[in-house]
Structure 1
């Protein structure tokens, strides 16, 4: 039996805690540390913080250095922030410590178009350390990029790709419901959009990943966000939304080659949204349509991040993206 891969969980919010719990369920992995800057969590028993009944035998560290002073590790699973200006120093710190890293940071999933300088710095740090960094999750990382890319393997020609993710956010966690604007007025929502603080992070990365992998030039990118407004009272465990208030959002990204629109990504997340499914359409030879039902965003993100650990450990040093790796599977 092979030696389990030793994992430190960096970031203990709802997703990070779920990742930590899942790691303990996998015989090929061993959770050896946890890091979080929240003073309400640091110094407490890790099992208590993440919601495990069995004792883990270590406490939540405030820094990575503190966690490594108490245990040796092979890889860090990083779940803190979405944006480069917040997570770049953390990823570099992990690599400089001589550890591989799998991160759920959306902007790391395919950063070469939107953040080429930052991506180059991380790639350089990874290669210098002889380690690998990957950004992944369910979206970006799978539904709007890896999945349609894999489906093109059975096509002789690809003319256009359309992906729609429609979610009933009423069954999601509170922070997600807040993130999509639940309970806001339309004016508040639009003000958030204007300041760049509203909308799903990751559509440019998914678009860039698909265009780059298929050898298409992304000549133009467009992105629009609009509120989805309630026409009746909605009550969840976290929000009460009155008629006329925002119950979610619809975001559409369009990618163009010089010849015209090639890819459209539609992201809908709203309370009591009647259609809860993911649809991938590929126009070409042949025309394909794949519909997924039951894709829980939180469960899928945790699964993808944990399942990717093995592939990252086997990968060449550097900053890699999902198309650089063999297909990630359970196990």
Structure 2
């Protein structure tokens, strides 16, 4: 399968590592605006050594011309969280003849917050016979797709409650900044009020669950509060003092007219005990706990590549994970590294 990488930040590098280990994925190109990366061989950016590959370019227009004539290629897109910011990038990729699997959080369920833009993306992709899919671990799996799958063994569902607790102590600096680590509580409140801080995608997860279960949401509430350090900690951002923000607690609750509920609680803070917990209630009540929780970055990279492997059999247009079919691992004979596209015919690539 032919892929290009679009965005080589922390998540993009993780996606590169998964793709580079595969014997069945062919990395045709890579795009990133960072001048320090442009011109570098993608093999030098992967933790898995392999033969020389394509060079990183700054724009889609700089990709090899063979990409535009090759059927079935897919872009693995990992740049921004906001759909309005990444739509120009998605449009370029569609114009290049590529389907897209993106980690953009708002793309996981964009139909409520961006109804007109969602229609435009759907139409644009359909006209070109391509697919656009938003995925990830959260949103995209643990707080939406996984609870939806669990409802398959119920004959009636009245409520879903998902709790995810993530220790950000050793996570990448951008994530620590996103959850407010090191801020004063008053500054946290100011940034939260203007949407400049916090996890993007919690409401999208709630709406994706409702969409997948054919529930009509009657009301939805969102809340975000800082969590406060009670001891000194050393984190990637520096020293964290007692009284400073060490993370956040976010909550989204969606209700239907007939009283069904979707409750999502996300805690991302320093040295919290990690776990994912899903409780589904109806005629019965079942609780599933993943001790230690699913890893954020590596799981996002894996589900992105796994979805890309299956995108050829999906409908065209803008899809959510509710329409994408059962997400699952695709065996790729890991070990030797991604075969190179140079000097290979189309038949050999397949």
Q: State whether structure 2 residue 35 is matched by structure 1 residue 39.
A: yes
Partner of 1:179: 178
Matched residues in 2 for 1:236 and 1:113: separation?
37
Moved more, 41-50 or 143-152: 41-50
Q: State whether structure 2 residue 48 is matched by structure 1 residue 49.
A: no
Partner of 1:240: 239
Matched residues in 1 for 2:191 and 2:277: separation?
28
Partner of 1:324: 323
Partner of 1:288: 286
SS of match in other structure, 2:227 = strand
Matched residues in 1 for 2:59 and 2:34: separation?
11
Deviation of 1:51 (Å): 4.4
Matched residues in 2 for 1:141 and 1:287: separation?
24
Partner of 1:58: 54
Deviation of 1:37 (Å): 0.7
Matched residues in 2 for 1:130 and 1:284: separation?
41
Deviation of 1:256 (Å): 1.3
Deviation of 1:265 (Å): 0.3
Partner of 2:165: 166
Matched residues in 2 for 1:61 and 1:96: separation?
17
* Cα distance change of structure 1 residues 56 and 293 upon mapping to structure 2, 3 Å threshold: farther
Partner of 1:17: 13
Matched residues in 1 for 2:287 and 2:248: separation?
24
Partner of 1:68: 64
Deviation of 1:284 (Å): 0.8
Deviation of 1:238 (Å): 3.2
Matched residues in 1 for 2:168 and 2:183: separation?
15
Matched residues in 2 for 1:58 and 1:310: separation?
21
Matched residues in 2 for 1:48 and 1:67: separation?
18
Query: Is contact 2:20-2:46 (8 Å) kept?
Result: no
Query: Is contact 1:156-1:286 (8 Å) kept?
Result: no
TM-score (norm: length of structure 1):
0.95
Query: Is contact 1:254-1:261 (8 Å) kept?
Result: no
Partner of 1:216: 215
| 1:272-297 superposed Cα distances (whole Å, 9 cap, x missing partner) | 11x20000001112211000124111
Matched residues in 2 for 1:57 and 1:202: separation?
34
SS of match in other structure, 1:86 = helix
Matched residues in 2 for 1:267 and 1:75: separation?
32
Partner of 1:26: 22
Deviation of 1:71 (Å): 4.7
SS of match in other structure, 2:57 = coil
Higher relative contact order (CA 8 A, sep 6+): 2
SS of match in other structure, 1:19 = helix
Aligned residues: 326
Moved more, 217-226 or 171-180: 171-180
Matched residues in 1 for 2:257 and 2:94: separation?
39
Query: Is contact 2:249-2:268 (8 Å) kept?
Result: yes
TM-score (norm: length of structure 2):
0.90
Deviation of 1:211 (Å): 1.0
Matched residues in 1 for 2:52 and 2:205: separation?
37
Partner of 2:79: 80
SS of match in other structure, 2:207 = helix
Deviation of 1:264 (Å): 0.7
Moved more, 320-329 or 148-157: 320-329
| 1:153-174 superposed Cα distances (whole Å, 9 cap, x missing partner) | 0001101110000011113222
Query: Is contact 2:4-2:28 (8 Å) kept?
Result: yes
The Cα RMSD (Å) is 1.4
